[in-house]
Structure 1
């Protein structure tokens, strides 16, 4: 009897030890083995389009990208440290014109610049009648353009060319600033042909001297719909050559495209003969990539400064016109051996593209 009891006790203890062992191995211990967390997946690509909109413009300063586009009734400003994530940024309305004023309607194509310690926005607006569209300037002395007060500095114009004007931007060459814009010299607004003009700037909101007509529609690819040269954008190559990239043909056509002017070495920006115009467009539609009417661009560099990027608008299908279906896209570009830009062709919508180098 005692022998049997001793043997049964041993078996009982053996089963108890086995139960405790299994329990511990099933995670019942109060001191489980720590497990390293799974690191978050880093998204290294993005795809176009970035967002809906037209007339995109980018200005970068101190690691921040400031973005603007046409709104129609006010000016909104986005800020981000990663352009591929632009759609997640929340825009701030920085300017709403006074109702009934000469700049209260058709607010188009705003562009941001930083000159002499202050911020400036150049934009197009009128009183609602197309013939009265003009270029205007806002000024802000705050270190951050999304804060502070934007002061209306009024219309910026050349007395020698005070007619229909849109798409103001700034070119800087050899320490001097020049204002670029698109204008229609026919004050009756019957002839819709649009040219690009230039004048030297006395200060960020005043022009001096006589305006020069730099380019007018000459080639067939500049006259689809009707003759248009607009949206001038300055570009400097790595070897310090100066270019103006502009949009050609009516924006409501699929054949809206980009043209190019190149300033000769040592040339005077105010002298038309010192600019060479490309006889062919430098960026055109790509139907197989869902890119129709690509144009009205801006430029920026990647966060690490190693890459050049173009941002532009386009339609995703044919015959969508110059309206709300336009969307914003961006892609990397390079420079050719002669210093001129090589934009390639518009990349396909939905295609996964590597993010700008240095983005976090």
Structure 2
């Protein structure tokens, strides 16, 4: 969850290769890592990505040096049980004075068993302390395929947002929201706020997943999500905008952009960019997006996906301008303040 400051001009240093080497970095940040997530607290960044059978965290004071941060395993999936297989998309949130870790997992290799779960840690540093299992989080009246949980903090309330299906036979992934009673329990039933409606959301399979919250300096709320099947090169980012002082539980208060906001860039050798996160530069002056992508076409949802990051700016109307995915190995100016 981030609140960000507005700007309207793109930083020329981000796109110019004629810069000092010690002031730049290159993507990818790591050799592999799908579904990257970053949160900032007390001068440090905590990075996570899908680990399949475990959840690990990397801690760094500078995102451009992520590769130098050790991956510390904080939770390992049990041998059996509802959260024993396919551990995906972990996200770390600091809520009500404690750390909460939301992740997706299933009971078997059958992906229909995938659900969202929660871990809690009362320690100051999520790399340390004890992680306690708080169990499954979801709507008991909609207990179907559910993945990619995240949290929206808005007007002194917390909302849980995830990707799911309407029934046990549905093949369309939709975005749902519910108000939270506490960080591990829902207060209301689920409400659908998005489903694939445009062609760019239906490649391979109709999919809306990986919801992530972004706020601009005025407090306007955007929900950036991944669209189409990750098995295609058409996997991309779409965006919803919550109207000013809107009710997150009122679907009509969300407006979807008719076009994707971040897509495959063949000329830059970036394919299927998606499942992103957001963070601020160390000095709080720049806005950055982190996402995964493939280096070649046709690589789908496998281990070729790697995390990349780049700066983004804002349009005059207050909406984010993500530009296009930059070429891996192309020098990018480090986040300001590093």
Common fold, TM-score beyond 0.5?
yes
Matched, 1:94 2:80: no
Matched, 1:213 2:192: yes
Q: 2:247 corresponds to which residue?
A: 268
Report 1:20-169 matches (<5 A). 43-51=22-30, 52-128=32-108, 129-169=110-150
Deviations 1:157-184 (A, max 9, x none): 1123211100000011111110000001
Partner Cα distance (1:286, 1:344) in 2:
11
C-alpha contact 1:70 1:108 (8 A) present in aligned 2: yes
Partner Cα distance (1:152, 1:217) in 2:
33
Q: Give the count of matched residue pairs.
A: 317
Indicate the structure with greater helix content. Answer: 1
Matched, 1:170 2:151: yes
Partner Cα distance (2:49, 2:237) in 1:
18
Give the TM-score taking structure 1 as reference length: 0.87
Partner Cα distance (1:88, 1:47) in 2:
14
SS of 1:112 mapped into structure 2: strand
SS of 2:189 mapped into structure 1: strand
SS of 1:131 mapped into structure 2: helix
C-alpha contact 1:158 1:208 (8 A) present in aligned 2: no
Q: 1:244 corresponds to which residue?
A: 223
Bigger CA radius of gyration: 1
Q: 1:238 Cα deviation (Å)? A: 1.3
Q: 1:42 Cα deviation (Å)? A: 7.6
Give the TM-score taking structure 2 as reference length: 0.92
Q: 1:120 Cα deviation (Å)? A: 0.5
CA RMSD of aligned residues (A): 1.0
Partner Cα distance (1:249, 1:237) in 2:
26
Partner Cα distance (1:187, 1:156) in 2:
18
Deviations 1:8-29 (A, max 9, x none): xxxxxxxxxxxxxxxxxxxxxx
Q: Which runs of 5+ in 2 are unaligned?
A: 1-19
Q: 2:280 corresponds to which residue?
A: 301
Partner Cα distance (1:343, 1:209) in 2:
33
SS of 1:86 mapped into structure 2: helix
Partner Cα distance (2:96, 2:188) in 1:
22
State the structure with bigger RCO (CA 8 A, min sep 6), 1 or 2. Answer: 2
Report 1:283-322 matches (<5 A). 283-322=262-301
Q: 1:282 Cα deviation (Å)? A: 0.4
Partner Cα distance (1:318, 1:132) in 2:
30
Partner Cα distance (1:192, 1:313) in 2:
24
SS of 1:43 mapped into structure 2: helix
Partner Cα distance (1:330, 1:161) in 2:
35
